[in-house]
Structure formats: C-alpha cells, structure tokens
Structure 1
Amino acid sequence: MAPHDHGTTAATAAEPLAPRPAPTSLPTTDREPRMTAQDYLRAVLRAPVYEAAVKTPLEPMERLSQRLGNVVLAKREDRQPVHSFKLRGAYNRMRQLSEAESEAGVVTASAGNHAQGVALSGARLGIRAVIVMPVTTPSIKVEAVKGFGGHVVLRGGTFDEAKTHAQWLAAEQDMTYVPPFDDPLVIAGQGTVGLELVQDDARLDRVFVPVGGGGLAAGISVLIKQLIPEIQVIGVEPEESACLAAAQEAGRPVDLDHVSLFAEGVAVARIGDEPFRVLQTCLDDVVTVNSDEISAAVKDIFDDTRAVAEPAGGLGLAGLKKYVRTHHLRGERLAHILSGANLNFGSLRYIAERAELGEQREGLFAVEIPERPGSFLEFCRVLGGRMVTEFNYRYAEPDRASVFVGVELHTASERGEIVSALERAGYRVMDLSEDESAKTHLRYMIGGRPPADLDERVASFEFPEAPGALVHFLSTLGSRWNISLFHYRSFGMDTGRVLAGFAGAGADPGFTDHLDAVGYPWADASDSPAYQFFMGA
C-alpha cells in the first residue's frame, strides 16, 4: 500500500500516483477463511443485498466541480432505507446464515449505522436481532434501532464494554455475532457499492472512500481492482482516528490510544484484520483530514445536493478536496462515497461554526488594541474593507484591550496579509485559526485575566454526554486544587468538551497522575497561545 498522505507538502506529492494493477492474490494470514481477490469478486457479484438495500444514484456536484476544476460525483449511500451503506454488509452476512443459525438469532454491538442495518435485516429475514448499545447512547439512536425491529440491550459505558457483552451473549445463547466490518461476507456486501460505481461510470479516475474499520474500503477496492484496475481507490481517515495509517506504519493492525468521536461513524481504534489484509494489496493511497475540513465538506454536500450528511458521510469528500489541492488535479472524474446521513441535529451547530475555517474562508485572530474611543473603527480600517465575522471583547485594563476577532477571507493567503497589515499598524497580533483551544473554548470565554498569578495549569477534557459525568469528574479531582477556570460546551455528540484551570497546580508533580485517574481523555492546554493571550496571569 502506498504511504499515507498527511497533505503537509504539495511539492513532494505534486504528481498523482500510478494506478495499482489488479491483484492476482491477497496477503495470507493465519486466519481463515483466506479469500482471494477472485473469491471476493464472485462474492460481491452473488451478494443478494438488493432484497433489502437499493441501488443508489451517483450524482454530480456541479458547483463544487466548477470550483475544483474536476468532475465531482457523490455516491448517495444516504439514500438507503437506513440512511447508510451499512445495510449492505449486514444483510449479506445475515442472508447467508444456515437455518439453525437463523433460528438462534444474531447479536451485534453498535451505537450507530451498523445497528440499524442489522435491525432492518433481521426484520426482513425474520431473524431475531439483538443490538447491544452503551448506556450512554442518545435516545434518538436507541429509538431508531427499535423502529427497525431490533431488540435493544443497554449495557456498558463504552462501545468496548457493549461489544464484550454482545460477544458473551453470542456464546451464552448460541447466537451469531455480526461484526460491523471484520468479516468477508460483510466486506463483500459493502463491495456492491464499488460494483455500482463502475456500472454507472467506468471512466472514473479516482474514488475516495471513508475508512473506519475498513470494511467499505476493502469491499470497494478489491472489486474495482478486479474489474477496472486503472481506477485509483483512496482511503480517507480523520486525523484523530487514523487507524489505517497507524497499521500501515506498524505493518499490522494496532490499537490507537484515543479516537475522536466527531466523525463517530468511523471512530474506530483498530482497523479490522481482514480489511487490512485486503487493503494492503488493493488500496492506492490514504489521506487524513481534520474536523474543520470534514465540516467544510458537509457544507459543500448541502450546498450542491441539499443532503445533510453526517461527519463520516462527508469524510470522503473532505479527502477528495485535499487530494485535489495537494496533487494539483485538473480535469479528472472523481467520486466520493456519501456514506451516511444519521446526524445528531445538535452537531450542526459545531459543523456550521467550523465549516468556514475548514474552507479557509474565515481567519481567527487575537489582537491587542488601545483602550480608547475610536479604536475599533481604526482597527477595521486597517483590515482594508474585509468583513468582521466575530468580535469578542471585555474591558480589562485602562490602556489596552485584548480582542478575539474573526475575519472573512477570500483566499488562504489573506491570513498572513492580515497579520502583516496589523503589525505594520502597530498592533500586537496572533493568528489563532489553527489553535484548537481558541476554536473550541476561548472564543466563548473572552473576559479578562486573573488579578494575580495563580500558578495555574489548564487542561482540556472530553466528557461523555451522560448523567453524572461532571460529578464523577469533580469527585475524582477532590479538593486538592481550586478550579480557577471552567468552560463546558456540548456539540450534540456523544462527548462534550471541557477546558478547566487549576490554581496551584503549576509545579505540582502529582498533577498529571491525578488527571489520568479521572479516566477521561485529556491534554495539557497551558501553552495554548489563545489562553496565554487572553487569560494567562
């Protein structure tokens, strides 16, 4: 497999990769069954998925195509009955159970699209489907699974705990466990997406596929490489959930220490063994993207199709846009998989806020201006007519004020031009457009500095959106330090984000161990430029 591309330098990746030839065999492992590429081709062609799934359209995105100088096509898997491609793999796996296995029923663990695919497949086939979901799963998802006929069991606080219980149920009640991606029949079911792609447009140059556990990418890539190997298949991962990139580097599947839940449909800590075996031979390249780029892609999809994709559903397009930019592609036919549209409505606020940053149409800056009448007008004049999108300010000192300002951009290079113009005018300025603390917390907190040096440490946390999470946090911390700063913001997802300051923790050697004991993912944010500019003592 080609080295993954983080998009850091366009110069080293200016030329597109040569297409990977059709594989004559796949790497072997100690695991059975060892399906060959030809076996997968036959399995895809024989997959009876259309008993439950539908053939989805490949739609042109005309506005984006004109902007990028390439023909951009969206494979609308959001049009499936469960609004996700997951129905294909689940149905193919369950359709081929023996009579005895069908009578015993199936079980799986999922809090998302796979759960709905298994539930609907069970209803269509008359098979009892038990879905184990974490107790923290939002009620809208639980009700959706029940609506498709699934029997929901709420167990465990995390997906791993739910999966452990599901596998125990499978063994205890002699039920069949239906994995979300690490299964040859599931992979073959997802491969029907690739079959439809080449049927609808055999002139495609590249296909961009979201990667979580790898089942969709494996199915599409092994099918396309058997039929039209000239078409490149490129996987796309979130930077904070890049389990395929990690497996490439290690030469085998490995566990990530932490995954971001923003694009929860691909928030997988370890790529599947069987998908990785297939992808080693069949995938041409991998690109990683950040949350802002995903948000911008979700907006592009809405602008062109009026579809509201979930973040994982916009992942393929985010990778496509980044690949076009870093490889200078022009005049090609490019498809991406709009893999799903099961979005928590509250997430739209976060996506809308970050989309302009992801498209580099907005810059965020910290600026120190004189505390006197007319200062804001003088500042706006220096911006040269650019539109101010946000301005946060609070009186703090008699002679100067620190402001947080958003500015509309037309090109990415304008950020540097704005900084230079402000510095020439005598302002102290800092570009915060890439500062995660600024984008997630500080922009909502501008309000002055502490009156004295508090010997403060600042940490960012991911909180589960569950009753008792805050009480657990505070109880575990105890009263060792006074909390000197606290900001919590919910984005309508399974986790919220917290920024907290701790007075007196600056030189405390036990600070790190104590926060580790809380059990929530955290990172030290004391060196955040935004924190230092606005709130540091």
Structure 2
Amino acid sequence: MTQAYLERILTACVYDVAINSPLDAAPALSARLGNQVLMKREDLQPVFSFKLRGAYNMISLLPEEARAKGVICASAGNHAQGVALASKRLGIKGTIVMPRTTPAIKVDAARRLGGRVVLHGDGYDEAAAHATKLMEERGLTWIPPYDAPDIIAGQGTVGMEILHQHPRKLHAIFVPVGGGGLAAGVATYVKQLRPDVRVIAVEPEDAPTLHSALKAGKRVQLEQVGLFADGVAVRQIGKETFRVLRKHIDDVILVNTDEICAGIRDIFDDTRSVMEPAGALAVAGLKKYVEEHGVEGENLVAINSGANMNFSRLGHVAERAEVGEHREAVLAVTIPERPGSFRQFCQAIGKRSVTEFNYRFSDPQQAHVFVGLALSDGIQEKDDLVADLRSKDYPVLDLTENEMAKVHLRHMVGGHGHLVEHERVFRFEFPERPGALTQFLNRLGRRFNISMFHYRNHGAAYGRVFVGIQVPPEHGERFDAFLDEVGYQYVEETGNPAYELFLS
C-alpha cells in the first residue's frame, strides 16, 4: 500500500492550481536556535494554505458522470477555499456548506473563488449533516478534508517538493496535524525515499488527536478540543490517515497557545508574513524539539501550512507571544497600602521593562498588583526574580502559566474604589524606555497616594499610563505644581463619564 501511495503522489495533479512553494531560509530563527531552519511556504498558495492540493487532486480524478453532478464539502476554513477554487478551475459546480457562525471573511473568500456557499447550523457537525443530506438528495460527490487516498496524495506533494528542494542532509521535517492528511502524505513520501529523515507531527496541547490515538493504540474521540488553532481543531484523527501515520511518523510534539503565538511572531520576524495559528504549529514544535533534545547544527524544515488569519486576532497573538517565548513574566504581587510602597516595589524589580501594571485601591492595609515584566534570560530569570521578591517579603503569585489570568483577569483588575477619597485621574504619556515607569514614580515621590494604576506597553515609542491619585483639596496647588514639573504630557479624566460609571 505504501508503494501505491508513492505512485499516487508522484502522479498527483496539483500544479494546475498550486505553486511549487519555496523552501525559504529563516536566518533570524536559525541564528537563535543554532540550526539551519527552513520554512516550506504553503502560506503563499493561491488560497493561502496547502488544502487546495488534495482537493484539486481528488476532484480532477473524478469520472465525468460525477463531475457533471458536482461536488460538495462541509468546512469553515481552508478546505472550503480549496474545494471552491478546484471546482472553478475544473468547471464543476462546487457546493460549500459552512456553519452560520463562520466569519464573514471566510464565507466571502469561498464565494469569491466560485463556490456555492450554503450557510447552515451553528457548528461544523450541523453543517456536515446538512451537507450529507444535500449529497444524497442531489447525487453529489463528497470531498473530505483529509481522510481519502487522493486527498492524502495531493498533500503528499509538499513532501516531494521538500526533498527536491533540499537533497542534502536533513535531520527532520515538522508537520502540523489536525485530521492528518498533510502529515500522512508527507510522511509516506519521505520515509520511502529518505528513511533517515525524521518526520515529526505537531499538535496543540488542547487538540491532541494523533497523540491520543498513538497512546491508546487506536483512534479516540476527544470530548472537546481547543479552538484557538481552529485549522486543526479536529476531535478524531482520520481512519486512513491514522493507519498511515502510525507506520511512518517518528514523534508527536504538543505545544500550547503561547508557544504557537511565539511561532507566529518568529515567522513574521523572518518573512514579514502572518500565519494563522495552525500555520505556525510546525515552527512552534521545531523550537520545542530543539530545546528538549539539544539539537545543534542540523537542517530542520517546518511546514508553514496556512495564513488565513483574522485581523482581529492579531492583538491577542502579540500579547501571548511574549509569554510563549519566555520573554514576559506575569505576576500578582501584594504590597503594603501606604504612600511610597508602589515606588519601592518598582525599585525592587530593578530596571526591567514593565510590560503591564494593573492596580486599584481596595483595602486600607494591602494592595494587589498585577504586573507583566519583560525577560531577557527566560524562565531562569523569572524564577530568580520571584525568589528575590519573596526574599524582600513580597508575597508573589506566578501567573505566567495561568490561562484564566492571561486571557481574562489581566483585563478585569480594578473596579470601583469605594474607600477612595479625593481621587483625581489622569492619562500620562512618556518616552518608552527601560526605567521610564520607575522614573515617573520617583517624580511623583511620597507626596501623594496612588489609588489606581494601569500601564500596558504596546510597543509604541510612548508609554501610556492611566493613574488615580488622591489629592485632598488643601493640597491642590501643590499637586498642580507637580503636574507642571513632571514634564510629561497628560490629560485629566476625572470628569470622564466612563470613569464615573465603572471606576469612581
């Protein structure tokens, strides 16, 4: 059967629609990892992912009778675009059933590529059930996203191209896995021609379909999967893909959301292209493999599988990438509630760049601060910092791996200051550089009590601070003099209705 797959891949019909995507060097990532990292750029395909290879190959091989009736698929992502484009190029009517919850950008893309889009249900299962009904009623041919030999063969041409483009020594190829079509095709081809090359699957920790199946010795249905890497959010590995992968895959690496986000940034740094989360899985897995195995001086290939990223997700990705690269620590620290304690805490953390500061007065005795700190030496630096703060009698809770804190809590710290009197609130801007926040607090000194503080480093040239300060009426003139001497741009927001509604 393996020989049959090799023949299918060698004769696959994909290049009417797909490009022979480049295998680009990643110089910045290579230098950091001490290995030659190469990226297979499937994000440069006409539909920005590898999916059109398998879809076109399968549809092109259909008999005339099936072509005349048309094809159908259920998909909310890249497979839909692949089927739509393949159908259009072959002059076949292609029906794409998508959940009503599918983002408009993906619906519009499928329609623009010539697909007849039918919106049905609130999730994939309902859409797939409706597609099955339409298929039976109209005699359409089902085009699965991964679990069919012709689909696997089409995706396998990615492996064929990699070996043509890099015939020299190659240590490993890293492949993202959802349903397993791409990995099965690549592994089958590579292991037939270059059995010395390791083929390593990469999955999200919250969608380990292949990992779970290999561990159990059979396909398993996951109760739920994470949706961040929606391109691989599959509850069960394919039947045929699992049969192939259990014979040919060398290892499976699991990565978390932060590591995926760091991979997206790494790819951007070297290519100026933005991957979707599933598209950066392979790079995230490659980095983890190097870290865990101490690999040096090897040639490593990561398949960048897709770039259908919703623009609205970029902010979240950028925020999480710092933690995924071990460049940010997220801590909750308890400090005494007295004038000057805030400044003393900033002095205790040294000249590290502060990425975020959230604080709201709530208790006359102590204050809880949510702080993000930039790291230059990864996990060890974070552990040393936590130990140092605790040695100075600061209670510290490390939230760096706390999903709830990173997704929700960091945006919810605050609330109404019921015990706060004479509060005035301001927005300040000051040049962004290490120590700038501490310098700001030193200028404020012990003269006034800070009752609320929010700061987030957005990567701009200027830091932005939102601060509440208790200013008794008899000290108003002295405070106004401080505003004049501090030298930073500011806007008073005490009368802002949003402040009055949520914070005052």
User: TM-score by structure 1 length?
Assistant: 0.77
Match of 2:199 among 222, 233, 239: 233
The residue that corresponds to 1:290 in the other structure is: 256
Paired residue secondary structure (2:355) = strand
Give the Cα separation in 2 of the matches to 1:448 and 1:158.
Answer: 36
Structure-2 separation of matches of 1:246 and 1:42: 30
Task: Tell me which of 91, 96, 104 is aligned to 1:131.
Answer: 96
Contact 2:152 2:181 in 1 (8 A): yes
Partner secondary structure for residue 290 of structure 2: helix
Does 1:342 pair with 2:318?
no
Deviations 1:324-354 (A, max 9, x none): 0001100000000000000011111110110
Contact 1:415 1:431 in 2 (8 A): no
**Counterpart position of 2:210:** 244
Select which of 210, 214, 221 maps to 1:255: 221
Question: Does residue 80 in structure 1 map to residue 45 in structure 2?
Answer: yes
Does the aligned pair in 2 maintain the 1:134–1:158 contact within 8 Å?
A: yes
Taking the aligned partners of 2:245 and 2:5, their CA distance within structure 1 comes to: 13
Aligned 8 A contact 1:63 1:304 in 2: yes
Q: Secondary structure at the match of 2:139?
A: coil
Identify the residue that residue 466 of structure 1 maps to in structure 2.
none
What runs of 5+ residues in structure 2 fail to find an aligned partner? 419-504
Q: Could you tell me which amino acid in structure 2 is paired with residue 363 of structure 1?
A: A
Q: 1:130-171 deviations in whole A, cap 9, x for unaligned?
A: 000001111111110000000000011110111111112111
Aligned residues: 416
Structure 2 distance, partners of 1:162, 1:204, is 42
Residue 427 in structure 1 maps to residue 394 in structure 2: yes
Distance in 1 between residues matched to 2:336 and 2:63, nearest whole Å: 77
Contact preservation (8 Å) 2:362, 2:417: no
Please give the residue correspondences for 1:375-394 in structure 2 after superposition, counting only pairs within 5 Å. 375-394=341-360
Specify the structure having the higher radius of gyration (Cα): 2
Residue in structure 2 matched with residue 439 of structure 1 by the alignment:
406
Q: Is 1:55 matched up with 2:20?
A: yes
How far apart, CA to CA, are the structure 2 residues paired with 1:429 and 1:52? 56
2:400, 2:406 within 8 Å by CA — same for their partners in 1? yes
After TM superposition, list the pairs within 5 Å mapping 1:276-287 onto structure 2. 276-287=242-253
- Whichever residue aligns with residue 48 of structure 1, its letter is C
The amino acid that maps onto 1:130 is: T
Q: Which residue of 2 aligns with 1:43?
A: 8
Distance 1:46 1:425 in 2: 68
Give the secondary structure class of the aligned counterpart of 1:191: helix
Kindly state the Cα deviation for residue 375 of structure 1 after the two structures are TM-superposed.
1.5
Q: Does 1:194 align with 2:159?
A: yes
**What is the deviation of 1:447?**
2.1
Q: Distance in 2 between the 1:222 and 1:64 partners?
A: 28
Return 248-257 or 328-337, whichever deviates more: 248-257
Aligned 8 A contact 2:360 2:417 in 1: no
Indicate the residue corresponding to 1:328 in structure 2: 294
Asked if the contact 1:120–1:148 (Cα under 8 Å) also holds between the matched residues in 2, the reply is yes
Report deviation, 1:241: 0.6
Whether the 8 Å contact between 2:97 and 2:131 is mirrored in structure 1 is: yes
Q: What aligned pairs does 1:87-486 form with structure 2 within 5 A after superposition?
A: 87-202=52-167, 203-411=169-377, 412-447=379-414
How far apart are the structure 2 equivalents of 1:254 and 1:151?
A: 33
Once the two structures are superposed, what CA deviation does each residue of 1:188-213 show, in whole Å capped at 9, x if it has no partner? 00000000000000222100000000
- Is the 8 Å Cα contact of residues 357 and 371 (structure 2) preserved in structure 1? yes
How much has 1:409 moved relative to structure 2? 0.6
Deviation at 1:384, TM superposition (A): 2.4
Amino acid corresponding to residue 60 of structure 2 in structure 1: R
Distance in 2 (CA, whole Å) between partners of 1:448 and 1:171 is 56
SS in 2 for 1:393: strand
Question: 1:252: Cα distance to partner?
Answer: 1.4
Determine if contact 1:210/1:337 at 8 Å carries over to the other structure.
Answer: yes
Aligned equivalent of 2:455: none
Q: What is the rounded CA distance, in whole Å, between the counterparts of 2:48 and 2:353 in structure 1?
A: 38
Asked if the contact 1:395–1:448 (Cα under 8 Å) also holds between the matched residues in 2, the reply is no
Q: Secondary structure at the match of 1:413?
A: helix
Q: Distance in 1 between matches of 2:300 and 2:133?
A: 43
Quote the Cα distance in structure 2 between the aligned partners of 1:404 and 1:206. 41
Q: Which amino acid aligns with 1:40?
A: Y
Q: Secondary structure at the match of 1:180?
A: coil
Deviation at 1:382, TM superposition (A): 1.2
Give secondary structure in 2 for the equivalent of 1:304: helix
- CA distance in structure 2 between the partners assigned to 1:158 and 1:282 by the alignment: 33
Measure the CA separation in 2 of the matches of 1:246 and 1:440: 26
Q: What is the CA–CA distance in structure 1 between the aligned matches of 2:130 and 2:221, rounded to whole Å?
A: 20
Counterpart Cα distance in 2 of 1:144 and 1:449:
45
**What is the TM-score normalised by the length of structure 2?**
0.82
Measure the CA separation in 1 of the matches of 2:404 and 2:120: 33
CA separation of 1:240 and 1:450: change in aligned 2, threshold 3 A: farther
Deviates more, 1:321-330 or 1:439-448: 439-448
Bigger CA drift: 208-217 or 398-407? 398-407
What SS class does the counterpart of residue 46 from structure 2 fall into?
A: coil
Shift of 1:448: 6.0
Alpha-carbon separation, structure 2, partners of 1:442 and 1:51? 50
What SS does structure 1 have at the residue aligned with 2:15? helix
Point out the more displaced range, 382-391 or 275-284.
Answer: 382-391
1:78–1:309 CA contact under 8 A, matched in 2: yes
Give the aligned residue type for 2:245: L
Report % sequence identity.
56
1:48-82 Cα offsets, whole Å, 9 max, x none, are 10011110000000001000000000000011000
Q: Which amino acid aligns with 1:409?
A: L
AA aligned to 2:309 is L
Q: Is the 2:361–2:417 Cα contact (8 Å) retained in structure 1? A: no
What amino acid sits opposite 1:275 in the alignment?
T
